[in-house]
Structure 1
């Protein structure tokens, strides 16, 4: 206690503490400053981009940029396409991943270790290698430029990581609780729905948020499997937005980027405590 406090009971300022505060301040600046600059740029009038330095504060709040981004920039369509592709993928991914993790770690059957290795092998396949085969399959099946193409792709590519993480969480569950439930006559379905799932609520929420960030910010699959403007998701649509007006109008462009960031910020602000708890539980138990 004496090493950390002064004679007056106040915290002692040490070099390590100062370095820690400096590092934390630097990290906050790296994260916050670009967002602040992005917002300030999104409310600048068109004349301010050519007449003022890029770091200059806006002379006023020019909200017309957001109206132009939403209407002429087709942001409403892009957000809808992203939501239609992202949320069903998360639901399907969690349903399959949670059931697979339960079957691989809680249930005992021959060959389950080999199946788990097959899922782990899926993590080693570069995503670029599957683009051309999937594109050919989607063209022949007629689902190119539809949300189904992205839903199938997101679910398939996110499943190996989800199964791997869920298997680790299931491995950390107390076996005594599951064994007691089985002795009391609970079926395997009752054990899954009523006993294991409530104990893994934070883990499931963590996986959902992480996969949401991957899917919502995806560009590789979006520009490959959505080739028409009406079918593009928000990240692919931002690429087209720059050239929508002939010459780039930076105000609506920055406004469209701000709009695309809002869902991820809301998810983080609402669920960050649960996500941090899920990550901490996984680190301590894994």
Structure 2
């Protein structure tokens, strides 16, 4: 009897087991969200999958078979070799235009953002408004005047019109975003550097530019995707097949005798899409950190 009476009193009051109904109710509440995510996943992945499978099909399969049918062989890499012979030139032209323009956009845009937010001078707010006005100007309005100017300067037939136009169209947004990022940096940092004897250029190169690494990478990726996927500007200023960028090249991608060969065309599009997707996946975390840095004011 003594053993029975010495049992802890808490053993008689065990914790109630979780009710299954609560778990079911929580699952039902989350079910619409799960369905939306699944639907978005299908909408995003299905075109990519269809594009990838189509890159292995022959011309006869495209013309006589179903569009949803699987390719007869997944080893038909002849489409990729045929596509690469032309896409390599288009990729080279895109790199020769996008990379210099992107470098100018980043350097000039960061310097302008530093001058507009860190330095104190008369008229800086008006200058910022002028840059913001550049965002609201449609690109279609400036193509004809620019083409006339480039023709008078004998720049047509080269890649310089693309580099200049890309730099001009990318600067307004970059200046606005960099000014926002510099606004979140405490001014005491640059004041301390000035008291230590640093010049304005030294403060920008040694302090301002390194502090904006994540922001610069974020803006660089945004501008890179915008410039790389441009079709209108490149289509307007490229008149020779040897100067076409990747988007213009894909638009005019044809086989022998002007006939569209769908297999190599799909393979060429796959090369471009996979290249852009790999860059984004590799730098995704840095982009998120850069966006978060610009959203929080320090």
Kindly indicate whether residue 39 of structure 2 is the aligned counterpart of residue 26 of structure 1. yes
After superposition, give the CA deviation of every residue in 1:2-23 in whole Å (9 maximum; x if it has no partner). Answer: xxx8669979633331111111
RMSD over aligned CA atoms reads 2.0
Residue 243 of structure 1, CA deviation: 6.3
Residue in 2 that maps onto 1:69:
83
Q: Which among 184, 191, 197 is matched to residue 179 of structure 1?
A: 191
Which residue does 1:148 correspond to in 2? 160
Match of 1:39 in 2: 52
Q: Does 1:216 align with 2:231?
A: no
The Cα of 1:81 is off from its aligned counterpart by 0.4
1:121 matches 2:133? yes
Contact 1:101-1:170 at 8 Å conserved across structures: yes
Following superposition, the deviation at residue 52 of structure 1 comes to 2.1
Find the residue that maps to 1:13 and give its secondary structure: helix
**Aligned residue for 1:51?**
64
Partner of 2:282: 270
**C-alpha distance after superposition, 1:161-185 (max 9, x if no partner):** 0000000000111122222222222
After superposition, where does 1:87-102 map in structure 2 within 5 Å? 87-102=99-114
* Residues 184 and 296 in structure 2, CA contact (< 8 A), matched pair in contact too: no
Match of 1:13 in 2: 26
CA distance in 1, matches of 2:112, 2:149: 26
Counterpart position of 1:229: 241
* TM-score normalised over the length of structure 2: 0.89
Secondary structure at the aligned position of 1:109 is classed as coil
With over 3 angstroms needed to count, the CA separation of the structure-2 counterparts of 1:192 and 1:10, relative to structure 1, is: farther
Look at both structures and tell me which one has the larger radius of gyration over its CA atoms. Answer: 2
- Give 3-state SS (helix, strand or coil) of 1:241's partner: coil
- CA distance in 1 between counterparts of 2:227 and 2:262 reads 26
Distance 1:239 1:137 in 2: 26
1:259 aligns with 2:271: yes
Check conservation: 1:93, 1:155, Cα contact below 8 A.
yes
The alpha-carbon deviation at position 261 of structure 1 amounts to 1.5
**In 2, Cα distance between equivalents of 1:223 and 1:277:** 35
Q: Structure 1 length normalisation: TM-score?
A: 0.92
Contact map agreement 1:241 1:253 (CA 8 A) in 2: yes
1:158 CA drift (Å): 0.5
- CA offsets per residue over residues 95-151 of structure 1, 9 Å max, x none? 100000000100000111111111111111111000000001111111113121100
Offset, 1:196: 1.7
Q: State the aligned residue count.
A: 280
1:86·1:215 contact (CA, 8 Å) conserved in 2?
Answer: yes
In structure 2, what is the Cα distance between the partners aligned to 1:139 and 1:185? Answer: 48
| 2:121 aligned with 1:112 | no
Any unmatched runs of 5+ in structure 1?
none
> What SS class does the counterpart of residue 59 from structure 1 fall into?
coil
Partner SS state of residue 218, structure 1? coil
SS in 2 for 1:146: coil
Contact residue 6 and residue 12 of structure 1 kept, 8 A: no
Q: More deviation in 8-17 or 38-47?
A: 8-17
